């Protein structure tokens, strides 16, 4: 019986890209996120794993990528997370619209949602990103290298959207097994809200008759929810297993530990711990500036580095000048 599983927000979203340099350029200099960790996919160490977030890479601010050079384009559809939304101050949405237009970014005009105005854009691989005018978000943005005024900076994740052939089985897992509250219904689907407050706690589920999506460049690989600590994560894992969910072992991801499982519609879910965080292997001021490997991959550093393309990372403000 699942009775205590209750993630307290989104931890991160991980997507697939094609060109790592293009990915770095877009998310650091266009959207103004900080590259907080340059590491590798621990399961395929010949590929980068790039983490973007706020100044320290706090949970609920993170969008991460596996950039596979030569990866084909994916196709949006059912069984995928089809939009990743970030929170921005309401008064900044017009500024963002002008900025994206000036930079030639593929973006739509803002539209009124059920509660907030939303600006939808697509990154160079076609990944759908939404900027949501969210009032009262107390998180601070990253006023780094992208010349984005602090008052306009992205605050962190707001929500994710899952597109499903059937709403009810996914809703049953989110509300029945993962402790989310069923929020409002709209003509597009249903919103489920975690207990961590208003910042980065929403999951939207939209039913669709579209064909099943194809996961490749420009699509989301998985979404991760927050567990406060390893003890809680382990307890939740056992409760999910007892409820009949196939869950992985607890995996060491260096900056958090993780468990993975799929919801009925096919979206890969993760529960990740808040700690130890990204300063465990490099100082706060140097985050993202160097290739970091977990201890078990350090013996292969020379071989791994030789297999990865060179990256030009924008200098941090304290290094510029």
Domains of the chain: 9-307 (3.10.180.10)
Q: What's residue 86's pLDDT?
A: 97
Pairing of strands 34-41, 117-122: unpaired
Burial 27-39 (b: 16+ CB within 10 A, else e): bbbbbbbbbbbbb
**Residue 1, class by beta-carbon neighbours within 10 Å (0-12 exposed, 13-18 middle, 19+ buried)?**
exposed
What tokens does 254 get? 């260096």
The neighbouring-strand residues paired with 63 are 13, 52
Would you put residue 288 in left (φ > 0), alpha (ψ -120 to 50) or beta?
Answer: left
| pLDDT tens digit at each of 321 positions of the chain | 678 999 999 999 999 999 999 999 999 999 999 999 999 999 999 999 999 999 999 999 999 999 999 999 999 999 999 999 999 999 999 999 999 999 999 999 999 876 789 999 999 999 999 999 998 888 888 877 667 888 899 999 999 999 999 999 999 999 999 999 998 888 789 999 998 667 899 999 999 999 999 999 999 999 999 999 999 999 999 999 999 999 999 999 999 999 999 999 999 999 999 999 999 999 999 999 999 999 999 999 999 999 999 999 877 665 443
Instruction: Tell me the pTM.
Output: 0.95
Q: What's residue 137's pLDDT?
A: 87
DSSP string, 190-250: EEEE-TT-SSS-EEEEEE--SPBPB-SBTSEEEEEEEESSHHHHHHHHHHHHHTT---PPP
Whole-Å CA distances, 86 to 102, 179, 208, 297:
20, 23, 23, 33
Helix, strand, coil share of the chain (percent; to 5): 20, 35, 45
The neighbouring-strand residues paired with 224 are 12, 270
Taking residue 166's Cβ as centre, other Cβ atoms within 10 Å add up to 13
What tokens does 47 get? 């590929």
Q: Please say whether the beta carbons of 160 and 83 come within 8 A.
A: yes
Q: Please say whether the beta carbons of 8 and 226 come within 8 A.
A: yes
What tokens does 284 get? 């706060």
Q: What's residue 317's pLDDT?
A: 61
Query: What's the rounded Cα separation, in Å, for the pair 33 and 268?
Result: 24
Would you put residue 214 in left (φ > 0), alpha (ψ -120 to 50) or beta?
Answer: beta
Query: What's the rounded Cα separation, in Å, for the pair 119 and 161?
Result: 14
Q: What's residue 112's pLDDT?
A: 85
Tokens 């590929």 identify what position? 47
């Amino acid at each position: 019986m699942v009775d205590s599983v209750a993630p307290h927000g989104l931890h991160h979203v991980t997507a697939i890209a094609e060109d790592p340099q293009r990915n770095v350029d877009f998310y650091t200099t266009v959207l103004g996120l900080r590259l907080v960790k340059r590491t590798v996919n621990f399961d395929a160490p010949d590929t980068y794993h790039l983490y973007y977030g706020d100044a320290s890479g706090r949970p609920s601010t993170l969008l991460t990528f596996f950039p596979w050079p030569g990866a084909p384009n994916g196709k949006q559809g059912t069984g995928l997370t089809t939009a990743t939304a970030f929170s921005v101050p309401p008064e900044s949405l017009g500024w963002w619209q002008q900025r994206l237009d000036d930079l030639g970014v593929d973006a739509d005009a803002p539209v009124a949602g059920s509660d907030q105005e939303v600006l939808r854009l697509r990154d160079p691989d076609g990944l759908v990103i939404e900027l949501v005018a969210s009032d009262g978000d107390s998180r601070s943005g990253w006023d780094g290298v992208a010349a984005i005024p602090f008052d306009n900076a992205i605050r962190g994740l707001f929500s994710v959207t899952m597109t499903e052939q059937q709403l009810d089985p996914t809703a049953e897992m989110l509300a029945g097994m993962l402790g989310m509250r069923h929020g409002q219904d709209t003509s597009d689907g249903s919103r489920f809200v975690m207990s961590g407050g208003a910042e980065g706690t929403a999951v939207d589920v939209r039913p669709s008759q579209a064909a099943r999506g194809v996961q490749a460049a420009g699509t989301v690989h998985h979404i991760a929810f927050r567990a406060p600590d390893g003890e809680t994560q382990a307890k939740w894992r056992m409760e999910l297993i007892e409820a009949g969910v196939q869950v992985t072992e607890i995996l060491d991801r260096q900056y958090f530990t993780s468990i993975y499982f799929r919801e009925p519609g096919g979206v890969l879910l993760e529960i990740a711990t808040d700690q130890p965080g990204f300063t465990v292997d490099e100082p706060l001021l140097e985050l993202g500036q160097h290739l970091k490997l977990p201890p078990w991959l350090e013996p292969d550093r020379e071989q791994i580095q030789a297999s990865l393309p060179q990256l030009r990372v924008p200098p941090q403000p304290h290094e510029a000048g």
